[in-house]
Structure 1
Amino acid sequence: MTTSRRSALKALLAAPALGAATGAATSASAQTAGAQQLQPALPPAGQVPAWPAPNTAPPSTQETPHQPPQWSSPVPTDWIDQKTGHRIRRLTPDGGGKPYFYKNMFLPAKAGAPDLMVISTPQGISTVDLKTWALSVLVPDRNADLMFTGRKGRNVYYSVTEPGEAQLMDRAKTIYVIDVDTKRTRRIARIPNGAVNSVNADETLLLGFVAHGSEPLQPGVGDPRNRRFDQAEYAATGPDGKPLNFARAKGVRMLQRWAARYPMAIFVIDMATGERRVIHSTNEWIGHTQFSPTDPDRIIFCHEGPWHRVDRMWTMKVDGSDLRKTHTRTMNFEIFGHEWFSPDGKQVLYDLQTPRGQVFWVASVDLETGKRVYRRVEQNDWSVHYNVSPDGRMFAGDGGDGDMVAHAPDGKWIVLLRPEPIVDEDPSSDKEDQISVEYLRSERLVDLSNHDYRLEPNLTFTPDGRWIVFVSNMHGKNHVYAVEVARAA
């Protein structure tokens, strides 16, 4: 490393974590911000990371670029995975997708009405009957972008983005809600930019975020999330001038975006009036804004960027109070993220690595008591995203390829993870205020050897816990699938 590059890297490492330093001030000012005008945050004071950020990626080790899955045979609709013995169903006839792993895609049960899941299809937004697996188009509009479903009513939320040259986040969107039983549609609000990605438990507030003046993660890409893999085709060269593989190129662009320190804001929208108000402003890169599934006033969100450089996980109340971190790094290169709420809303669960790429856990912290549980995961079971069953008794992961952080030699599987407590021979020595440790015993459910992980499978349990739903390109097109948790007879 040259002296100039070393100096630039030191400047990056010395940069303040602005979200923590300015949290109280920004929370107070946010409550007085104009309801309809999302005000940019003030530029950070003091030293900031160099821009553009230095490219510190190691040389690429990938000899050949990613190739999309090749599939020329008829695409199966119902089969038993020969390697795992679990039954798999393809739910979409001609392609489709679903929301992100922490976004609700199921509707509350109602007497006399079918239990439904909501997904995206080429025809628009569709429902899936969870007993018959029958698919029905709900919103016949290819421009309708499914966001999530409600937890109180049988409501589906979606947006329609206006056309234009700006990147997706910078274009105006109109937010709608439709009742699946009555088919009544209501316009909630129009936002000039930003994204909405959560609704609170009593369906009175929407939650979103906005960046001011930001650029796409991949230069020259206007709509970075409108591609086949739901993310940009990342490209970059390493310090040696050679092209980087996908994972490392993405890391370069993530570092650059983090260092740019664009002003950002978290806002809420009143469902009854459409009124917007800012609840948090910062120059940190904000993402993963989520409402608790049970507490209508509790929020979690993250500071995006290279995970070993950020204090990633945060929580706050909807009025901007009680802003605090939910995990503090205790070793160099410890990383944590892809956080989500437990079904009861009491805990935040997340991917933890101590250190990065070496020791893997699915961790949790109780937001009231602070109690932590670390659940050990083997290298080949590490996953891009994890999820938990509705009863909290089982976890699942969507795997990862050899380019990803775990560099797993055999990690391309959907896996079921059953927690087993690790009990000392002298249990009386255990202390409640210390971290509890469990081991996640894995069972492979789906062979994803033909899946291209530029499309992240995500995954979620059905409300009865009997199936796990995910998206895959293992048969060429993107499709939504469900795998049965119980092994086929």
Structure 2
Amino acid sequence: MKKLLLMILLLSQVIALKAQPLLETGGQQMPDEWIDKTTNHRVIRLVRRPGINLSFYFHNNPFVGNEMVFYGSNERQKERYVGELKTKAQEIYNLNVKDKQLYTVNLSTLAVKQLTHEKSNIQGEIVNKQTGKAYYQCLDSVFSVDVKTGLRELLYVFPADFKGSISTVNADGTLLGGVYATEKEKEIFKQNPEKHQYFNRIYEAKLPRTLFTIDIKKKQLQKVFTDNAWLNHVQFSPTDPTLLMFCHEGPWHKVDRIWTIDVEKREEPKLIHKRTMDMEIAGHEWFSKDGKYIWFDLQLPRGETFYVGGTNLENGEEKKYQLQRNEWSVHFTSAHDGRTFAGDGGEPSAVAKAPDGKYIYLFTPEDGHFKSEKLVNMKHHNYKLEPNVHYSPDGKWVIFRANFEGFEGIYAVEISRNTKK
């Protein structure tokens, strides 16, 4: 009987594989599932609702159990055709999208549910798997919404003299974290909306920014740290409820970027990686899932030799894995068990100047370097919209966002390679 069941299972898998066409990814309207003809990996359209759908930034956890939270809109960008975007795609924070709300997709059934129904756009890619809630901000108000029940709760309203922005929740779901910027800084962003316009201006302005927390139960705000620097990428540790990471944003070769602070003790921030040479850069930092490491894109120097570096938070020891120019990625992430990494590749105009780097990658550490495998050919993707990779909770898929069909969508690629040609 067991042999019969096994044979039936194998037969159903073979039939399923045969039903999936072998196609070039993008540049055309894709079916819901296909095999990438370059990599021979199975790719699926994870979210199948019409409109704009965007998965979270690479270091923001989107998962509660088997549900994934994402941003969606009923609007589609205008003036576009398959294979190329006529309008300039940008990150979700700057994307000119109306009716931006939170949704969930069930990773087993692919059923989609709308979570928020605010009258204005919302912000905040903040999910806590312990509390089962997503947290977001609408104008000056901060809310939570239960991912399972949809129950919405008002948590905090920013005062008129402190219009902050939330960006993270701590490990036990008791604190939200974020940053406050001055009105003068906000005006610079308003007058210079493109990254190439504001990036150096904000860095050189040296305006004060303040890290803060909000006690969710007490509904109280606490200022944690202020500096005349562009404090950004605020992230709580996934395991230590008091450890907050942030960066000094700006041209990476000019800043010692990665810092942590204990939000209870509020001692001086601790530098995680000190630059060792001229033009060295380290950035796009993230916590390992077990909270033991902070990993980051490391270049020694900028644009020449490429690594993923990591600092052990217990003893300060560092390790690094070298990769090739074409393997450099805008963002990297690490698997739940820490055994592999994934990257979202990059276009030729990016810092690595990679002639053939437009792929979703899987990386396996091996003797101080990464052994790479290409998962998806992204030749038709416009990298003005960064793919931002995530491992699925079961570790079997890499989830990413893309515009290779001519609109913003959410996809997943199976890590196991299709063995059928």
Q: Could you tell me which residue of structure 1 aligns to residue 20 of structure 2?
A: none
Q: Could you tell me which residue of structure 2 aligns to residue 197 of structure 1?
A: 167
Q: In 2 relative to 1, CA 197–215 (structure 1 residues): closer, same or farther, beyond 3 Å? A: closer
SS in 2 for 1:119: strand
Q: Which amino acid aligns with 1:353?
A: Q
Aligned-residue Cα RMSD (Å) equals: 1.7
Preserved CA contact (<8 Å) 2:124 2:167: no
CA offset at residue 218 of structure 1?
5.8
Q: Which amino acid aligns with 1:133?
A: L
CA offset at residue 410 of structure 1?
0.4
Pairs within 5 Å for 1:215-254 = 215=186, 220-221=191-192, 224=193, 232=194, 234=195, 250=196, 253-254=198-199
CA offset at residue 80 of structure 1?
0.8
Q: Could you tell me which residue of structure 1 aligns to residue 5 of structure 2?
A: none
Preserved CA contact (<8 Å) 2:364 2:371: yes
Tell me the TM-score normalised to structure 2 length.
0.82
CA offset at residue 220 of structure 1?
2.9
2:125 counterpart of 1:135: no
Preserved CA contact (<8 Å) 2:62 2:127: yes
2:154 counterpart of 1:187: yes
Which of 27, 34, 39 is equivalent to 1:84? 39
Q: In 2 relative to 1, CA 404–216 (structure 1 residues): closer, same or farther, beyond 3 Å? A: farther
Instruction: Give the gaps of 5 or more residues in structure 2.
Output: 1-25, 75-100
Q: In 2 relative to 1, CA 146–261 (structure 1 residues): closer, same or farther, beyond 3 Å? A: closer
Cα distance in structure 1, aligned partners of 2:388 and 2:188: 21
Q: Which amino acid aligns with 1:455?
A: L
Tell me the TM-score normalised to structure 1 length.
0.71
Instruction: Give the gaps of 5 or more residues in structure 1.
Output: 1-70, 110-114, 162-172, 225-231, 235-249, 422-437
Q: Which amino acid aligns with 2:374?
A: R
CA offset at residue 146 of structure 1?
4.8
Cα distance in structure 1, aligned partners of 2:217 and 2:243: 19
SS in 2 for 1:308: helix
2:348 counterpart of 1:402: yes
Preserved CA contact (<8 Å) 1:208 1:289: yes
Q: Which amino acid aligns with 1:367?
A: L
Q: In 2 relative to 1, CA 322–283 (structure 1 residues): closer, same or farther, beyond 3 Å? A: closer
Cα distance in structure 2, aligned partners of 1:206 and 1:297: 11
String of CA shifts for 1:239-288, please: whole Å, max 9, x gaps.
xxxxxxxxxxx2x6422211101111000001012211110000011001
SS in 1 for 2:417: coil
Pairs within 5 Å for 1:288-299 = 288-299=233-244
Q: Could you tell me which residue of structure 2 aligns to residue 432 of structure 1?
A: none
Q: Which amino acid aligns with 1:139?
A: T
Cα distance in structure 2, aligned partners of 1:131 and 1:482: 12
Q: Which amino acid aligns with 2:403?
A: N
2:407 counterpart of 1:477: yes
In the alignment of these two chains, the number of paired residues is 360
SS in 2 for 1:300: strand
Which of 98, 101, 107 is equivalent to 2:58? 101
Q: Which runs of 4+ in 1 moved over 4 A?
A: 215-219
Preserved CA contact (<8 Å) 1:147 1:159: no
SS in 2 for 1:376: strand
SS in 1 for 2:138: strand
Q: Could you tell me which residue of structure 1 aligns to residue 143 of structure 2?
A: 176
Which of 362, 378, 396 is equivalent to 1:416? 362
Q: Could you tell me which residue of structure 2 aligns to residue 210 of structure 1?
A: 180
The structure that is strand-richer by fraction is 2
Preserved CA contact (<8 Å) 1:151 1:202: no
